[in-house]
Amino acid sequence: MNNKGATALIIIGLCGRSGSGKSTVANFWRRIGAFLIDADEVCHYVYSKNLRCVKELCESFGNDVALDGVIVRSMLAKRAYGKIGGIDELNRIAHKYILEEIETRISLAADKDTGVVVIDAPLLFESGLEKRCDAVIAVIADDSTQIERLKKRDAKSEEELVNRLSAQLSAAEIAERCDCIINNCGSLGQLRRKAYVAMFYIQLKLGFLKNRKKGHLYVKKQD
């Protein structure tokens, strides 16, 4: 874990499988002042704004994976999966630009004196982002609950959803690598309370709270 500057700024990695409720937890923390970095949104940004990344991906997977200078993710995925070693090549190219943009946003958070940065990343471990974090929190749920949530959210068959989950790290594998687990098996109110307790626990564990002003129980409130 990265403890550099932990008393002034802590970086929390948030991970979880599809349908676990990870994004809901991230939004709870954002509302109480955490600086949220959504890795998926960063990927969209890089694929549309970073010309170096777009150029390198086009050179590797064909010019038609981009339209008007913006990566078409569905076409890129098709090419990557259809090429031997394509996924590894895609990750090698994309991750360095995504990590570069995340570093830029962490610097922005430090300038704002936010106190807590949350990196919401489905592939936190696969991308190596956990090495940049002071602590990692996972949101987990059982497979049947995740599939039911995904059915309501995505227009996919149950078979497609099962295949999606099977391609991800299991809840047990994720839990083994994390500092704290939020089990999302109840109501929204219960999840909110668990999210706040987890945030408090991690800050206390890192010695962060005693270095903040009285009253900042979870993260520094936004003005």
Task: Give the Cα separation of 128 and 124 in Å (integer).
Answer: 6
Q: What is the DSSP letter of 16?
A: -
What does each C-alpha distance from 123 to 17, 148, 157, 198, 209 come to in angstroms?
9, 21, 23, 20, 29
Complete DSSP assignment for 141-196: --HHHHHHHHHHHS---HHHHHHHHHTSPPHHHHHHT-SEEEE--S-HHHHHHHHH
pLDDT of 87 reads: 86
Q: What is the pLDDT along the chain (223 residues), one digit of tens a residue?
A: 444 443 478 999 999 887 788 899 999 999 988 999 999 999 999 999 999 999 999 999 999 999 999 999 989 988 988 889 888 899 899 999 999 999 999 998 888 777 899 999 988 888 888 999 999 999 988 777 777 777 777 767 777 777 777 767 777 888 888 999 999 888 999 999 999 999 999 998 888 765 554 334 444 444 3
Q: Which residues on adjacent β-strands are paired with residue 116? A: 10
**pTM for this model (two decimals):** 0.81
For the chain, give every domain's residue range. Answer: 1-34+114-209, 40-113
Report the C-alpha gap between 39 and 101 in whole angstroms. 10
Give the list of residues 6+ apart from residue 126 with CB closer than 8 angstroms, or none. 91, 169
Cα 197 off chain centre by: 20
At the fourth CATH level, which superfamily is domain 1-34+114-209?
Answer: P-loop containing nucleotide triphosphate hydrolases (3.40.50.300)
Q: Report which DSSP code applies to 68.
A: T
